[in-house]
Structure 1
Amino acid sequence: MKKRTYLILFLGVALFLSGQFDQVQAVDSRVGGAEIDLKRFKETDSVIRDPEHPEIQVDPGETPQTEGDLRIDFVPKLNFSTVMISDKTAVFPVNAQLFHDQTEARGNFIQVSDYRDDSTGWTLQVRQEQQFKHTTKQGADLKGAVISLDQIWTNSTKNPSLSPSVSKEVIHMSNIGDTYNLAQAQPEKGSGTWSIIFGASKENENGRPNSLQKRLDVSGKEIEDPIFKKPVYSNQAITLSVPKETEKEAGSYSTVLTWILAELP
């Protein structure tokens, strides 16, 4: 039976790694011979890694996680910022991922760890449970609004040949309640800790195009994030499109995303 792990996250919009290696442990020896027990190293703590430099530990703040040898260590809290109401079709980029340490802004990412003894593979999926709903006015939805995911890539301290595969096409989450595949690791692949990333910073050394841009207010000044105390960046790799026909009420809107990590049979 295929095992699935579900992680549910709320997100909104306002309108106005550790590498895996084999550990050798000597457990007994005697004259004329010796015995050893080979154990596979397991990273039991969900250490969050810089998606562009996975050898470095980072602090993105609190995040929902799952447990076990196959788990989700981190998912992004997507925030599409405060934007002006428009009578035209509008596309809003998400805020990029910020950190409490010295790490610069990064593309939004999910971190998956697989430290099972048998690497049978896994799939990572996402599902939007409902349309964006006004947080205070009942019945006010952003009808037709669509989240799109693009520029997906992976990174790890592991050999790139072991990488899970990701979609090369833009994922338009146009059908509420449908489940969309983000990444899949075939058997013997995807072991250790992997970041599945949307976009990249201009400083990245992975050959990825820059998708981040500093957000400025109407006067051209930097916008500071009140939690991280750092400049806010937009990330064009994740967007929210709202049709011009959609009735828009000023205020905050939110939806629910469910992240699904399933082991392959």
Structure 2
Amino acid sequence: MKKLLGGLALVALTGLFPLSAQAETSNHSTNGIVEFEGEYEKEIYDPENPGTIVDPGESPSTDGPLRIDFVPTLNFGRNKITKSERLFSANAQLFHGDTPARGNFVQVSDYRGTGAGWTLQVRQEEQFTNNQTLNHQLKGAVLSFDSSWTNSVRPQASGPTVKKEVIRIENIGATYTLAEAGKDKGEGTWAINFGASSENTNGMANTLSPSLDAEGNQVLDPTFDNKPVSKNSAVTLSVPTEIMIDPVPYTTVLTWTLSELP
């Protein structure tokens, strides 16, 4: 019995302490830390080729990780006064350098890293006005945005949603939503486009056409190295036929607002 018990004890000890284990081993874990400061550099990108940096000239913008990088200056050009056909298209967006004309666009960036979402809105502060003339206001004139779409180097499925119907600013001072990014949407940089050129590869219909003067000549823009001006039918201004128009420039103010979702 003693030999048998001793044999069992030996087997048990061999199982607990293998002969190959000559020394104890231990594992230790440490942490790696990297910290960043600053923010992504503000660049404006071609709304139809979002990997390409472009120069659309000066524009108001905001700062911070959630910001508006660029908003268009809507110029409807010089137009003949008529009693009918009072629907005027905005000039398409031009750029310094080799980039051709594009539809008008707003560029939004969200680098908060929270995925909280955002809303882009616009408000017309006053009617088109010129206080230095007799008929000083284009009463009933309506600014409209159509053919909305978004573009980014990021997947389209992660982008904001835009209104598919025409956005008509019929109430001066009211706020209209142009795009909305829900939870985990709209991160990175996105172009909110109104219209597109014939060169776009996103399946959007062309809304640009040459801008011609009264003699049928192509209008050139000296601000952009005398590039030809195009009209964008996706952004229009309609003026009622009964309203008197004077041969002067009329202006308005648009406020673009980018808000965090609650």
Band of TM-score, shorter chain: 0.7 to 0.9
What is the DSSP-based 3-state SS (H/G/I as helix, E as strand, rest coil) of the residue aligned with 1:216? Answer: coil
Conserved in 2, the CA contact under 8 Å of 1:89 and 1:243?
Answer: no
Cα distance change, pair 214–58 in 1 and its aligned pair in 2 (3 A): same
Tell me the residue number matched to 1:136: 132
Quick one: which amino acid aligns to residue 143 of structure 1? K
Mapped to 2, the partners of 1:42 and 1:153 lie a distance apart of 30
Mapped to 1, the partners of 2:211 and 2:236 lie a distance apart of 15
Mapped to 1, the partners of 2:207 and 2:39 lie a distance apart of 31
2:154 is matched with which residue: 158, 181, 184? Answer: 158
Cα distance change, pair 99–92 in 1 and its aligned pair in 2 (3 A): same
Q: Is 1:82 aligned with 2:61?
A: no
Count of residue correspondences: 235
So what's the TM-score if we normalise by structure 1? Answer: 0.85
- The offset of 1:117, in angstroms, is 2.4
- The offset of 1:37, in angstroms, is 3.8
Q: Is 1:250 aligned with 2:238?
A: no
Q: Which has the higher contact order (CA 8 A, sep 6+)?
A: 1
Q: Which has the higher strand share?
A: 1
Q: Is 1:106 aligned with 2:102?
A: yes
Tell me the residue number matched to 2:228: 231
Mapped to 2, the partners of 1:186 and 1:210 lie a distance apart of 29
Quick one: which amino acid aligns to residue 117 of structure 1? G
Cα distance change, pair 232–135 in 1 and its aligned pair in 2 (3 A): farther
Q: Is 1:49 aligned with 2:45?
A: yes
Q: Which has the higher helix share?
A: 2
Mapped to 2, the partners of 1:204 and 1:49 lie a distance apart of 14
Mapped to 1, the partners of 2:61 and 2:182 lie a distance apart of 23
Mapped to 2, the partners of 1:166 and 1:39 lie a distance apart of 35
Mapped to 1, the partners of 2:161 and 2:35 lie a distance apart of 27
What is the DSSP-based 3-state SS (H/G/I as helix, E as strand, rest coil) of the residue aligned with 2:45? Answer: coil
Quick one: which amino acid aligns to residue 230 of structure 1? K
1:241 is matched with which residue: 229, 234, 238? Answer: 238
Tell me the residue number matched to 2:115: 119
So what's the TM-score if we normalise by structure 2? Answer: 0.86
Tell me the residue number matched to 2:214: 218
Tell me the residue number matched to 2:177: 181
Specify every segment of 5 or more residues in structure 2 that has no aligned partner in the other structure, as ranges: 1-26
Task: Specify the structure having the higher radius of gyration (Cα).
Answer: 2
Mapped to 2, the partners of 1:49 and 1:56 lie a distance apart of 5
Specify every segment of 5 or more residues in structure 1 that has no aligned partner in the other structure, as ranges: 1-30
Query: Sequence identity of aligned pairs in percent?
Result: 52
Conserved in 1, the CA contact under 8 Å of 2:43 and 2:53?
Answer: yes
Conserved in 2, the CA contact under 8 Å of 1:145 and 1:243?
Answer: yes
- The offset of 1:36, in angstroms, is 3.1
What is the DSSP-based 3-state SS (H/G/I as helix, E as strand, rest coil) of the residue aligned with 2:107? Answer: strand
Conserved in 2, the CA contact under 8 Å of 1:78 and 1:94?
Answer: yes
Mapped to 2, the partners of 1:208 and 1:40 lie a distance apart of 39
Tell me the residue number matched to 1:201: 197
Quick one: which amino acid aligns to residue 233 of structure 1? S
Conserved in 1, the CA contact under 8 Å of 2:218 and 2:229?
Answer: yes
RMSD between superposed Cα atoms in Å? 1.8
Conserved in 2, the CA contact under 8 Å of 1:163 and 1:185?
Answer: yes
Conserved in 1, the CA contact under 8 Å of 2:135 and 2:245?
Answer: no
